[in-house]
Structure 1
Amino acid sequence: MINRIFRGKTPYVLAISAGVVLIALFFSLSRPDLLRPLQNLVFDFYQQLKPRDASQSAVVVIDIDEPSIAARGQWPWPRSDLAELTDRLSRAGAAAIAFDMVFSEPDRTAPAFLAGKLPPDMADREATAAKLKALPDHDAQFAAAISRSPAVLAFFDARGQTRDSARKIAGVSWLGEDLNGLLEPLQGAISSLPVLVSSASGHGHISLGESQTDDVVRRIPLFAAQDGNVYPALSAEALRVALQSASGKRHSFLLVTTFAGREGGEADRASGGSAAITMARLGNFTIPLTKNGGLDLYFAPADQTSFLSADRVLSGSVTELADKVGGKIALVGASAAGLRDIRTTILREAVPGVAIHAQVIDQIMQGKFLNRPDWAPGAEAVLAVLLSLAIIAALPFLGALSAAAFGMACAVIVLAVSWWAFSRHGLLIDPLFPLLLSLTAYFLTTLLLFAFADRERRFIRTAFRHYIAPNLLTRLEENPDALKLGGEIRDMTVMFMDVRNFTPLSENLTPEELVTFLNNLLSPLSDIIQRHEGAIDKYIGDAIMAFWNAPLDVEDHGGKACLAALEMLEEVEQLNERDAFGFRARGLGAVAIGIGISTGPGCVGNLGSTTRFDYSVVGDTVNVASRLEAATKDTGAPILVSQATASAAPGLAYLPAGKLDLKGKTRAEEVFVLAGNERCAESAGFQRLAKTVSRLPSLPAAKRKKAVSDCLAAAKPYLHPFLSRFS
């Protein structure tokens, strides 16, 4: 078995498939961004199946929604309104108040600003302007309200529009590698007015980063760097201020990198020698981060985020407000369609940007994180290789369907492990890459096996198309194992056909003429044999050896062999009538053939050596058929069949030829002359002939000849033309 495998096509298939798999693996590892859309597809689906539960959220969104704009006017509102909003939230007990917006320009509704916009020709312009300037400044009012509350302001990345730096309020320290080379860089900052920022308790960026591959928010940079300073995101800063407000103690961030353990430490070995951020700590909270300080978002359904209309905050009582925001982090943002701050989450929900910050704070406080560990790509690569090689190795032995079932079972296991890692531990282990690579290996190996099998079929068709019928050839192509070296015992029918008086005929023909004659004779006779589902065993000079019921089963093989023999006689008669061989002018006479047919057990298979063999049949059945063909010369009958053949095809027209002593046989064999087909057997003339022939041995010699002549005359329309010639 092993020797047969490694002498065949299997080593080439395994080598080619394994090589392609390794090349694909190397390419995917060197270009990981190519796999990110596929990974997003899987991990998004996991979150959609099992989103985070945020029903007990400690965050409330103060929403500048459509009803608020309808009640208070278009945005932006006067900063005095925002001051009142801030004071109310503070008095209601909000642990932190974070604004998801930037106030980078002075309030255009401030009295002093309006004084400068009075028409020059206005009556009492100076007096009116003086009165306006004497009124409280809105920005000052807002700054005062900010200073009295745990407020957090935002800034965003200027994208190179300015090189200004944001004010750094939060303390950020780190262990290990310098963070400025690892974090996402800020290209300048656009911040609120200095008077506002200087009054705030916290300052955080609201960048979504540049790592998005589509419009779906999956990850945010929780920390970013500019000019040696490290800034937290607005959500992280709001949480820090809330902790500080609740405890009365100053809190700061601690970031840990892979080189925190120094050379030779466990962290060094775990990272594989590359610097990366691993986590951040804030008070009792530990936050796993990506290598560049990002946070993978684990979303809760949007309807679990608490929204409170800004108009209700401004118009309701502080007591009622305390029930909704007391002890919670209040995020002030906008959901009104005209303000264009709508984002798409992994759950395929459109939410305002401020809701993203709420999701970040929620998952940090819950400790529900998603983490793609450093070892995940390596583990996925190893799994992909093992699974691919297993399928490649199994395909030649299991077949396409069994290997597909094996691959499906492996796929279910891989998917189950990946889902278990996500649902129980929040680990992002990609099952799709190993499955796609193994699927590629499956199709590639199947294609190669098909190509080799197709080459085998072409070889079989080329080798056997001249010897067996097309329908048998097709079935043989589907089961090439039937051609294995060795034999099997089958019930078969064997035919021998030989040209009468071939030796004197060949003496009158040149070698070229002899070859042409044999081709013109044997070609149509071979076609007849194949048409009746027979297989040509070999050509022996002017003779044909054929057999039925191998290599594939042939129903009624004895009858088909007999009908083929009758049709072969008719074909030779027609060839003679139209002088197809050109013998008439040369006085060579008509061509005659003799056929012997025997049915019985035979050993059939590829006989020979492992490098050169013939598909043939051997056994006593073959010997009997050969001897019957030789006996046609002595009896004058064109077709002689054995008793077993006559029994296998009982509906045909047979005449008993008695028992003949066949050469090489110790006992005489019961032999029959095949006289015609079923129609001939059913004719009244043939039936009288059969009775007469059976009575011939008992008739006087004078009556025997007349009886035979009369019967032949009556049966002549039904007898084979050759039968009358040899009667």
Structure 2
Amino acid sequence: MTRTQFVGVTIGLALVAALTVLRASDPPLLRLARDVTFDEYQRLAPRDFEDVPVRIVDIDEASLKAFGQWPWPRDRLAALVDRLSEMGASVIAFDILFSEPDRLSPRTVVRDIPNVDKALLGRLPDNDEIFARSIAGPPVVLGFGLSTEGSYLPPVKAGFAFTGESLFAAPPKIDAATPLRPRFAINAAGIGHISLDPGRPSAVVRTIPLLLSDGQQLYPNLALEALRVAQGASTYILAGAPDVQDVLTELKVGEFVIPVTAAGELWLYVSPDRAERYVSASRVLAADGPSAQTRAAIEGSIVFVGTSAAGLQDIRTTALGHNVPGVSLHAQTVEQVLSGRFLARPDWADGLEILSIAAAGSLLVLLTTFVSPAVALACGLLITALALVASWLAFVYMGLLLDPLAPILAGSVTHFAATAYRFLVTDRERRVVRRAFGQYLSPSLLYRIEHTHDALRLGGDDRELTIMFVDVRNFTEISERLAPTEVVRFLNTLLDALSRHVIANEGTLDKFIGDSIMAFWNAPVDVTDHAGKAVRAALAMRETLARLNDSDAFGFGDEQKVRIGVGIHTGLACVGNMGAEMHFDYSAVGDAVNVAARIESACKDLGFDILVSEMTAKSADHYALLEAGALPLRGKSTRTQVYAVVGDEAVAASTEFAELHGIHGQLIAALRSRTPASREKLAAAKLKAPSVCTGLTDFYRRISRRSDHFAGEPPARPAESAE
């Protein structure tokens, strides 16, 4: 590990630690993001509506139109209780506050008249007394709200039993409640609070507090009381977390066990609002009596009485983003319990999410530092996908709320920071090298320089290379006809097109020497079949040059066709960085380089564009090769056997080349023995050559004048394997 990498890892892990601590502190913004994620889950897979025995008697717009504006006199509510009881409701729960006397009661109205007869006043009915008598018989549950004034707390109609330590400090705190009329409190079968999510700043109702506490007494909510009264249960049983104080885990009421949060809250699993859930109060109080359909809906059901009228302002927002009457959430609470469809965020969820941030963040830091940002990104995307899939499956199949967002956000921040550090610091030297040499060196050489600490030191290594020289024919004549800027434009067009084939075939582009190119293969890294790839690059250059000539890319018209010569040799050379300490090139030197250059020069004498040495031919014998003789190369004491590269593997396998190869072999034998048959064989070769390669015409015209190139013992001809 380098010092730069060590610093990067240290900074990255410190960032991961900071993100882990941030998640452990659970700031409001993270909680909001988590809640929104769970909301989205519910929108994708809401709870199905089930026709359980829960109904809402709705004081809706139709009811207000039929019986007048709200509030109704309580004798009408008494009539509603009597009618619902007669229809067979198992419980009647009011999501309505009864904290003040009925101002519409006849006795209250007359009392305000001056000099009223007290005897008359005593004979007038009191709506509160009527309502109190009506709720004394049937099972009725009344609601109360929270208050910031006074010290009133309602009576509790049920007992509480604990498994383990006392849990009075677990639920949300209640300081005071809206007063409940004394007779109502006495006659009601149950009393529960109607507050939804007290003390929460969010307008979305996500959890329902099933219990409130003043520190000495617990107070159930309206839905919980309705469920208790419907079962005839007298006691709630509360279970706490083992060895932990004031942490609730579940609540039992009658036959039902309800999983709750540590504070005794129920995660609300919402179903879309359905008309089947509601029965208009106007239908219940109809003068001619309720219909059979209305009776069937009420009979045996837990009935909540509330309002959906917009003007009464009891509208709440659910996790689905729907605005519904508050009474609907009480009804849905009981529906959840009856259907057994719960959501839960287990105690270990926070620990798992914190651990996932630490583990995923650390992994991404190490991958980004030691492997590559791309691999780290792929792993990060995989972690993201796994987190999302695992969280979604846990929600759908187990009702568990596991937050995928925190580890995803933490991983994204970590990956971005580690990648930025690597880009700004670690990869700075590599970018300098790539900008300086990227246009001249093969990707393999760039990779070596980037990842080897001493790659730019002076010195070289002896290794077998395949070396190529490319030169433009008649360049002097071309340059004399052109302006200097036109010469540069011509060379740029030609050399750019040809050099691309070196890079494409894993070669190293050594240098441009005026109108020439020097390239080599098998350095700085090993290249399999380097001789074959060099020949393939030469053939690609031939095709590219023909295309450029045909399209008049150089602007010469038909007057001038650009030609090149390519010489290739395989041999031992010294390759490495050569020059001065402050300015050097990666290049190759040695006898093998000189041989390759001389073979390229021989292309002029033989009238052919691609020649290779015998060493190269032995490694590239799968190409179409023809023996071109043993040439006396300038500066060499011995002759060098060369071969003409006619075509690729497809040409080598063709019938035409096989026939030409046979004729050519006979021609070479005749030239070597200097027999008169050479003229006949030469004529046959000239006749056959155009069908294989048009460039062979000049080759055969010149080869007859150089019979001395074939004197002596015939060399091994690797091209014969093509027959």
| TM-score, normalisation: structure 1 | 0.66
Matches within 5 A, 1:382-531: 382-395=355-368, 399-401=372-374, 403-451=376-424, 454-460=427-433, 464=437, 471-472=439-440, 479-481=446-448, 489-493=465-469
Of the three residues 239, 243, 258, the one matched with 1:256 is 239
One-letter amino acid of the counterpart of residue 42, structure 2: Q
User: 2: CA distance between counterparts of 1:647 and 1:558?
Assistant: 21
Aligned to 2:170: 182
Residue 305 of structure 2, aligned match among 313, 328, 332:
332
Indicate how the Cα distance of structure 1 residues 211 and 405 shifts in structure 2: closer, same or farther if over 3 A, else same: farther
Taking structure 1 as reference, are residues 19 and 227 closer, same or farther at Cα in structure 2, changes over 3 Å only?
A: closer
Is residue 2:21 matched to residue 1:26? yes
Q: Within 2, Cα distance between the matches of 1:659 and 1:490? A: 19
Q: Which residue of 1 aligns with 2:713?
A: none
Q: How many Å apart are 1:382 and its aligned residue?
A: 2.6
1:58 aligns with 2:56: no
| Distance (Å, rounded) in 1 between the aligned partners of 2:434 and 2:389 | 47
- For 1:344-359, what aligned pairs fall within 5 Å after superposition? 344-359=317-332
Shift of 1:373: 0.6
- The aligned counterpart of 2:346 is 373
Shift of 1:37: 2.1
Deviation, 1:667, is: 2.2
**Rounded Cα–Cα distance in structure 1 between residues aligned with 2:252 and 2:295:** 30
Equivalence for 2:289: 317
Match of 2:485 in 1: none
Distance 2:224 2:13 in 1: 48
1:130 and 1:605 map into 2 onto residues whose CA distance is: 125
* SS of residue matched to 2:43: helix
Shift of 1:58: 1.5
Mapped to 2, the partners of 1:645 and 1:410 lie a distance apart of: 63
CA–CA separation in structure 1 for the residues paired with 2:608 and 2:439: 22
Alpha-carbon distance, 1:354 to partner: 0.3
Name which of 140, 144, 151 aligns with 2:140. Answer: 151
Matches within 5 A, 1:557-596: none
Question: Hey, what's the Cα distance between the residues in 1 that align with 2:377 and 2:167?
Answer: 49
Contact 1:223 1:231 in 2 (8 A): yes
Kept after mapping to 2: 8 A contact 1:599/1:642:
no
Distance in structure 2 (CA, Å) of the matches to 1:606 and 1:7:
25
Equivalent positions of 1:122-141 (< 5 A) are 126=116, 131=120, 133-141=122-130
Residue among 287, 293, 297 paired with 2:258: 287
- Contact persistence 2:141–2:226 (CA under 8 A): yes
Q: Distance in 1 between matches of 2:640 and 2:444?
A: 39
Match of 1:200 in 2: 188
Q: Does 1:161 align with 2:149?
A: yes
Deviation at 1:399? 4.8
Query: Matched residues in 2 for 1:95 and 1:144: separation?
Result: 18
- CA shift at 1:342, angstroms? 0.8
CA contact (8 A) 1:204 1:237 kept: yes
- One of 187, 206, 209 as aligned partner of 2:197: 209
Structure 2 residues not aligned, in runs of 5+: 456-460, 472-487, 500-507, 525-532, 543-565, 611-629, 643-697, 707-723
- Structure 1: 5+ residue runs without aligned partners? 1-5, 245-249, 259-266, 465-469, 496-524, 539-544, 561-596, 629-639, 652-657, 672-686, 696-727
- Deviation by residue 1:378-423 (Cα, 9 ceiling, x = unmatched): 1223333333444444456775555544444443333332222222
Who is 2:80 aligned against? 85
What letter matches 1:372 in structure 2?
R
Note if contact 1:92-1:319 (Cα within 8 Å) is conserved in structure 2. no
Shift of 1:83: 0.8
SS at match of 1:179: coil
| Superposition deviation, residue 115 in structure 1 | 0.9
Letter in 1 for 2:271: A
Pair 1:306-2:277 in alignment: yes
Partner of 2:67: 72
SS of residue matched to 1:617: strand
Give the total of aligned pairs. 557
CA pair 61-532 structure 1, distance change in 2 beyond 3 A: same
1 CA distance for matches of 2:444 and 2:640?
Answer: 39
Cα separation, partners in 2 of 1:451 and 1:95, compared to 1, 3 Å? same
Cα separation, 2, equivalents of 1:478 and 1:161: 81
Instruction: Name the SS of the counterpart of 2:393 in structure 1.
Output: helix
2:607 and 2:71 map into 1 onto residues whose CA distance is 104
In the alignment, the residues of structure 1 paired with residue 439 and residue 432 of structure 2 have an alpha-carbon distance, to the nearest angstrom, of 16
Worse overlay, 186-195 or 100-109: 186-195
Shift of 1:298: 1.0
Match of 1:506 in 2: none
The 1:660/1:227 distance shift into structure 2, 3 A limit, reads closer
CA distance in 2, matches of 1:156, 1:166: 10
- One-letter amino acid matched to 1:642: S
Distance 1:648 1:9 in 2: 57
2:202 is the counterpart of 1:226: no
- 1:488 Cα offset (Å): 7.1
Distance between the aligned counterparts of 1:208 and 1:394, measured in 2? 47
Inter-partner Cα distance in structure 2 for 1:459 and 1:646: 44
Call closer, same or farther: CA 1:34–1:44 in 2, change over 3 Å: same
* C-alpha contact (below 8 Å) 1:61/1:305 kept by paired residues: no
CA separation of 1:478 and 1:294: change in aligned 2, threshold 3 A: farther
- Between the aligned partners of 1:478 and 1:77, the Cα distance in structure 2 is 89
The letter of the residue matching 1:150 is P
Report the Cα offset of residue 16 of structure 1: 3.8
**Which residue number in structure 2 is paired with residue 343 of structure 1?**
316
Aligned pair in 2 of structure 1 residues 670, 360: CA closer, same or farther (>3 Å)?
Answer: closer
TM-superposition CA deviations, 1:171-220 (whole Å, max 9, x none): 22323343332221113111332222222111111112346453211002
| CA-CA distance at 1:598 after TM superposition | 7.7
After superposition, the Cα gap between the structure-2 partners of 1:477 and 1:662, relative to the gap in structure 1 and judged at 3 Å, is closer
1:64 Cα shift? 0.3
- Please report how far the alpha carbon of residue 163 of structure 1 lies from its aligned counterpart in structure 2 after TM superposition: 2.4
Aligned mates of 2:541, 2:258 — CA distance in 1 = 86
Q: 1:110 aligns with which of 105, 109, 122?
A: 105
2:298 corresponds to which letter in structure 1? V
Secondary structure in structure 2 of the residue aligned to 1:642: helix
Q: CA deviation at 1:36?
A: 1.8
Q: Taking structure 1 as reference, are residues 79 and 647 closer, same or farther at Cα in structure 2, changes over 3 Å only?
A: farther
1:41-92 CA-to-partner distances (Å, cap 9, x unmatched) read 3222222232223322211101000000001000000111011111111222
Conserved 8 A contact 1:107-1:113: yes
Contact map agreement 1:493 1:645 (CA 8 A) in 2: no
Q: CA deviation at 1:26?
A: 1.9
- Distance of aligned partners of 1:97 and 1:606 in 2 relative to their CA distance in 1, 3 Å threshold: farther
Q: Distance in 1 between matches of 2:261 and 2:142?
A: 25
